[in-house]
Amino acid sequence: MDIRHTIQNGVAILHLSGQFGYSDEKRLADLTESLIKNNPAVVAIDATKIDYVNSIGVAALFGILKIVDEVGAEFVIFGANSNTSVIVKKIFENDFVPILSEEEFKRKYLS
């Protein structure tokens, strides 16, 4: 998996692409911990380039949610395609994680 990040308007965005692999959970956790040192109000997952979320991906996303919750920031997932969106919504519906389109995310958090 390719993992990049940007910070815009107090929002730390993790741009993910490809398939989740075994080493990605730790890489994402380490990067998230590094990013929250800058005290972002929001940590967002850009899922526009994720085709499928497997069990490793689910564990990685839960790990990020836990890290973000511990510092009181908001966790958001945006841009998921129809396949990924179904999985992500089922997993995070009870955790009150916003699952937004890319346009909704930009309008709410970046404008």
Centre a 10 Å sphere on the Cβ of residue 76 and count the other Cβ atoms it contains.
21
pTM, 2 dp: 0.92
State yes or no: pLDDT of 91 exceeds 90: no
Domain boundaries, the chain: 2-106
DSSP state of 73: -
CA distance 111 to 15: 19
State yes or no: pLDDT of 69 exceeds 90: yes
CATH code for the structural domain at 2-106: 3.30.750.24
Give the model confidence (pLDDT) of 9-60 as tens digits. Answer: 999 999 999 988 888 889 999 999 999 998 999 999 999 999 888 889 899 9
